[in-house]
Structure 1
Amino acid sequence: MTNASVPAAAQVAEQPAKITPNGNAVVATRYEIDKLTALCALLTEHPVVFPAAIGRPVLPLAIGILDALKPLLRPEATAAQLKDALRTYSMSLAYLLAQSRSGSWRHDLAGVPVAPVSEEHRSSAWDRFTALRARRNQLRQARRSKIEPAAIGGQAKGGTEASSEVVKPAMAGAR
């Protein structure tokens, strides 16, 4: 096991969520690393099972991993905080995709495969993955449709000082 914080190198560049060329491993993006940074801040050690950098494999966790993590909890952290942080990570798109892959195995804290992911859990993870991805795509499209009219309106006025005043509030509201 390594240090409780995720290495700074993990924050350098983000790769899109993807499956490795051999088609088996799902790799961590900045999103997963950010969630793991919060989770590992609650722990005294960084478990090997969690990816330590962008592009490292995301592994399905063993059933009961929460109980295995509790002995690593920092004194100032609570079990409820740990449970919430673990839930946040395990609901990431990459984690759900990794869990839904055919032939995937669950891993203990040391990263050792301990049991195959059941067909029921695999199917459930795929359903949650597709629903979450669809919801995020809807939100992304909604944000784009709110931003585009403001940007077009500012360009239509020829880029004068008055038009920039109109665009800035619309852009600030979209954030």
Structure 2
Amino acid sequence: MGQKQPTIKSPRGTSSLVLAREREVAKTAAINALLIRPIAVLPAKVGDPIRPFALGLWSEVRLLLKPDVSVSALRKALATYVHARSYQVAVARPGSMRHDINGEPVEPVSDADRLDALKKYESFKARNGSSAEASVSSLAASASKRDAISALLLRRKDAPR
């Protein structure tokens, strides 16, 4: 018998497009500011689709780097974009396609890449859930600590001297 594949729920429904919000547009504007010309694969405005990059796109984008900008600055800006939740959701969507520098679809996202993106998405959810739970429990702990101190002070105040 074959090994059972892990079950991971597809993020944000079944639509094939993930649309850019202000934060994604800000990231893409930062990337394009480092280049001699904007690249069409990136969303230019709110509501534009987020498109998974074609494999090997880095070598084409690097050629467009402004002469006074370091390669590491471009690498960091691109990493911020491609490791973001919305980009991972776009990669994880069933039927998603990879796009060239001009924004044209070139090939489907592989099942392995899709599964990897789903795992990253799940880790985003787990991280956000655990931090929310931690902050809720710390608030509860501080509230109970505050109540305990208040009760102690009230008892001391009411006690005869």
Confirm or deny a common fold (TM above 0.5).
yes
1:99 aligned onto 2:71: no
1:117 aligned onto 2:142: no
> Aligned-pair distance for 1:103?
1.1
SS at match of 1:114: strand
Aligned residues of 2:27 and 2:81 also touching (Cα < 8 A): yes
Equivalent residue letter for 1:34:
A
C-alpha distance in structure 1 between counterparts of 2:129 and 2:48, whole Å: 25
2:129 maps to what in 1?
Answer: 137
> Aligned-pair distance for 1:140?
4.2
1:82 maps to what in 2?
Answer: 74
Query: Please, what TM-score do these two structures have when normalized by structure 1?
Result: 0.67
1:23 maps to what in 2?
Answer: 15
> Aligned-pair distance for 1:65?
1.1
Which consecutive unaligned segments of at least 5 residues does structure 1 have? 1-17, 152-175
1:43–1:149 CA distance, 2 compared to 1 (3 A): farther
Deviations 1:58-82 (A, max 9, x none): 1000011111101111111111111
Aligned residues of 1:19 and 1:27 also touching (Cα < 8 A): no
Compare relative contact order (CA 8 Å, sep 6+) and give the higher one, 1 or 2: 2
C-alpha distance in structure 2 between counterparts of 1:54 and 1:148, whole Å: 38
> Aligned-pair distance for 1:54?
1.6
Q: 1:41 aligns with which of 15, 23, 33?
A: 33
Larger Rg: 2
Deviations 1:75-110 (A, max 9, x none): 111111111111110011110011011111100011
1:54 maps to what in 2?
Answer: 46
SS at match of 1:102: coil
C-alpha distance in structure 2 between counterparts of 1:34 and 1:150, whole Å: 37
Deviations 1:23-64 (A, max 9, x none): 110111222122212212211211111011122111000011
1:165 maps to what in 2?
Answer: none
SS at match of 2:63: helix
Greater Cα offset, 63-72 or 142-151: 142-151
Query: Please, what TM-score do these two structures have when normalized by structure 2?
Result: 0.72
Please, what is the CA RMSD of the aligned residues? 2.6
Q: What is the percentage of aligned positions where both structures have the same residue?
A: 34
1:130–1:19 CA distance, 2 compared to 1 (3 A): closer
1:63 aligned onto 2:63: no
1:73–1:148 CA distance, 2 compared to 1 (3 A): farther
